[in-house]
Chain A
Amino acid sequence: DMKVTQMPRYLIKRMGENVLLECGQDMSHETMYWYRQDPGLGLQLIYISYDVDSNSEGDIPKGYRVSRKKREHFSLILDSAKTNQTSVYFCASSLAQSQNTLYFGAGTRLSVL
């Protein structure tokens, strides 16, 4: 079953707290992504991972870092969360080539108070 799983689905944090968002996929995809979705802005790429320990910044990496120690697992970390990081975060995975379909998780709705 082809699936991208995100945990947690909903999260409320206070400003300055650390946040860990987790993502797993069961398709052995090389490439994984973290996007955030904001009204009127669509999806913006935060980080892309081409494989284990091979990560690159996307369009809006400031304030975020990632970790990929296993091919099937990709984490997004917010050190000292800010209120402007309130958003819906989507993880996705794909085969390596850029013509391939992205498979998305259901998203994590993060509120930073």
Chain B
Amino acid sequence: AQSVTQPDARVTVSQGASLQLRCKYSYSGTPYLFWYVQYPRQGLQLLLKYYSGDPVVQGVNGFEAEFSKSNSSFHPRKASVHWSDSAVYFCAVSRNSGTYQRFGTGTKLQVVP
């Protein structure tokens, strides 16, 4: 069975600083990896996803991530965060057809002046 663990419940960074979010994936076979972002009082929106091809993925709002099969990692990074990036970020994993996405517990990002 697939699972995800987000080790950081909260992350605080200064505006303009770089950011990397973390998620530990556990899966067998070919994984489908996702990151979603949830702004206050809204539903989740897709940030990034990977399921095949080029391991470097460009997402929305200046985020990118690189899939590493050896490390089972797919960590979004952003060179310079803005206060509007403050949100909760969720990683999720699914596998082949017939499985559904399982979500991590979320990382709350706060960007401070």
Which chain A residues have a beta carbon within 8 Å of chain B's beta carbons? 4, 33, 35, 40-45, 48, 58, 90, 92, 97-99, 101-102, 104-107
Shortest beta-carbon distance from A55 to chain B in Å: 13
A98 touches B43 (CB 8 A): no
Q: Which A residues touch B74, using CB under 8 A?
A: none
CB-based closest 6 A-B pairs: A104-B43, A42-B105, A43-B103, A99-B32, A99-B51, A98-B94
B94 touches A99 (CB 8 A): yes
B68-113 with Cβ < 8 A to chain A? 90, 94-106
Query: Is chain B's interface secondary structure helix, strand, loop, or mixed overall?
Result: loop
Query: Does B17 have its Cβ within 8 Å of any Cβ on chain A?
Result: no
Shortest beta-carbon distance from A9 to chain B in Å: 9
Shortest beta-carbon distance from A92 to chain B in Å: 8
B44 touches A102 (CB 8 A): yes
Query: With the chains together, A101 CA to B26 CA distance in Å?
Result: 20
Query: Does B11 have its Cβ within 8 Å of any Cβ on chain A?
Result: no
